Amino acid sequence: MSLARSPVLAVCLAFNFSCTPSSNVNGGAPGGSKAGASSSEGGGGARAGGGGTTAGGVGGESPSGGGGGAVYATPEWADLGTRAGCRFEKLANAASIKPLVSWAACASVAGCDDGTLHAEHMMRGGRVMTMGLHYGVGTLEGSPAVAFTLVGAADNRTEAVAVVMAEGGNVLQAFRAIPLAESTCGAASASISAPRFGFSFREITDAGMTNSLIVGDLTGAADLVPIEVDFRFSRLQRTVIGDGRFVGFAEFANAVIGMDLAGGPVEVVGPVSPPEKLRNTSPESFGSFFTYDVAVGEATHTSSYIARTDGVTEGTPYITEPDASFGAARDAGGLIGYQKAIGLTDQGKYETVELWSTPKTVPPNPSRVATLAVNGLIQASGMTVGGANHYAAVIDDKVLVWNLASGDQWECSPLPETGSGGLVGISENHVWTGVRSTPTGLADGFRRCRLK
């Protein structure tokens, strides 16, 4: 059976969903588990979501929203080009369409809003199955923005929509991939690096799988950039953009690759030669440089370090220390937040996992912030985010947030009956999490908590 005609396999490959339980490599959340199931590389399940269809009470910074009775235009799409078996389109009237999220104050939690997703009007099939697995949060033209992807179905095939949204819920820009003939189009990842945003897509046909990148900004500029790689590098997990390049983790090849945002040759910037293995955590962009995690050892990894690369040349050890493991470096604005683990036990966990920070200097100048866990693991992709000198992690189904400068810690957890839908990011005002309507579903809404 071909890739394009195997619906389950095609959806798994196109949208970063795992068809089989993912391995827990030195700190990854198991696929489909309650903690971070929407954002770890091995998430599972999907549910029909979206919420109501009324236009009133949507948008604005006020938790109660605004714009009741407003009349919105139908989304209009302009051709952006064709790649493999997919036609790509750009939203032509973003300023006129209905906002995507309505906000309401969290019950009994100060400084917290819950956001219901209203995105049916963005989908050809009129239904949102779930949000994607990877998000981008940043600042565009001086205001916070969130980039994410939507998965739906039309004409008995999956459809992918990628969105850049203002913090209040208004659409800033959007793209969609429409399958042609017997093909599947998937949106794999979202990223923001001011003044640009980027989305990676997968196209699956009988000939195999290809990858594309859409890079744009709020002036309306947008480019469809082919990522020319062979099959070993075709399953790109989290991709992030920087000042002029992007990097991504190629799962099949177990390598990190980089490419100019305008296109061109792909460079392997994280080559793997035993006994080193890339950890199951996503690359992180710091604008002018990127980081990724490397585990050293065989079946039981004895240590890991954080590598740094410019996206052109091979990465080199950046944060490392004998008898300790490091990982999950996140851009926290003026600082880098990361995790340090000490004392690997026979059960494959660490006696202590700590949160540290450093300025973006070479060499780093580390400072201990807090203890994250006892007898725990370094958190994996989708379980940690940084921004505005803060760092957040999902630990025991709780979303915990630290101020890296003061060390103060507080909580921004979704409702206990559903658990966390994974972390979205940290803007200049809020920490964002995904929210699940059911314990076994993927994220289909947001929670945002004001930074303290």
Give all domains of the chain, ordered by start, each with its CATH number: 7-450 (2.130.10.150)
More confident residue, 213 or 13: 213
CA distance 37 to 163: 21
Among the listed residues 102, 63, 35, the one whose alpha carbon sits nearest the alpha carbon of residue 450: 63
**Sorting pLDDT into bands at 50, 70 and 90, what band is 14?**
low
99, 26, 25, 89: which is closest to 59 by C-alpha? 99
Please count the residues of the chain.
Answer: 452
> Any idea what DSSP says for residue 23?
P
CA separation (Å) from 311 to 57, 96, 175, 255, 286? 43, 38, 26, 12, 11
Any idea which of 10-19, 384-393, 412-421 has the lowest mean pLDDT?
10-19
Per-residue confidence (pLDDT) for residue 205, from 0 to 100:
86
What angle is formed at CA 449 by the lines to CA 444 and CA 452, rounded to 5 degrees? 160
* pLDDT tier at 409, thresholds 50, 70, 90: very high
Range in 3-7, 105-109, 259-263 the model is least confident about: 3-7
Q: Which helix (H) or strand (E) holds 7?
A: helix 7-14
Is residue 18 predicted with pLDDT exceeding 60? no
Mean of the pLDDT values across residues 72-101? 95
Do the Cβ atoms of 247 and 237 come closer than 8 Å? no
Give the pLDDT mean for 20-44. Answer: 31
In which band, very low, low, confident or very high, does the pLDDT at 158 lie, cut at 50, 70 and 90?
confident
Per-residue pLDDT reduced to its tens digit, 42-51: 333 232 333 3
Ramachandran bin of 425, using left for φ above 0, alpha for ψ from -120 to 50, beta for the remaining angles: left
- Give the single-character DSSP code of 231: G
User: pLDDT, tens digit, for every residue of 100-130?
Assistant: 999 999 987 889 999 999 999 999 999 888 8
Beta sheet of 398-403, edge-to-edge order: 384-387, 390-395, 398-403, 409-411
Q: Give 166-202 pLDDT, tens digit per residue.
A: 999 999 999 999 998 788 888 989 999 999 999 999 9
Report the pLDDT value the prediction gives residue 52, as an integer from 0 to 100: 33
Confidence label for 29 from pLDDT (cuts 50, 70 and 90): very low
Say whether pLDDT at 355 is over 60.
yes
Average confidence (pLDDT) over 407-426: 83
pLDDT reported for residue 315: 93
pLDDT, one tens digit per residue, over 370-380 is 999 888 888 87
**Cα 283–chain centre separation:** 10
Beta strands in 194-243 (DSSP E): 196-205, 208-217, 222-227, 236-241
The pLDDT score that the predictor gives to residue 303 is 82
- The per-residue pLDDT for 307 is 95
Strand (E) or helix (H) holding 392: strand 390-395
Mean pLDDT of 194-211: 92
Report the distance separating Cα 126 and Cα 64, nearest Å.
25
Mean pLDDT of all residues belonging to the chain: 82
- Listed ranges 90-94, 233-237, 412-416; the one with the highest mean pLDDT: 90-94
How high is the pLDDT of residue 196? 97
User: Tokens in use for 443?
Assistant: 């994220």
Spatial contact of 132 and 150, defined as CB atoms under 8 Å apart: yes
Instruction: Please tell me the predicted confidence (pLDDT) of residue 69.
Output: 61
Cα angle: 55, vertex 126, 161; to 5 degrees: 95
Task: Tell me the sheet residues that pair with 209.
Answer: 204
Q: Identify the band that residue 300 occupies on the pLDDT scale cut at 50, 70 and 90.
A: low
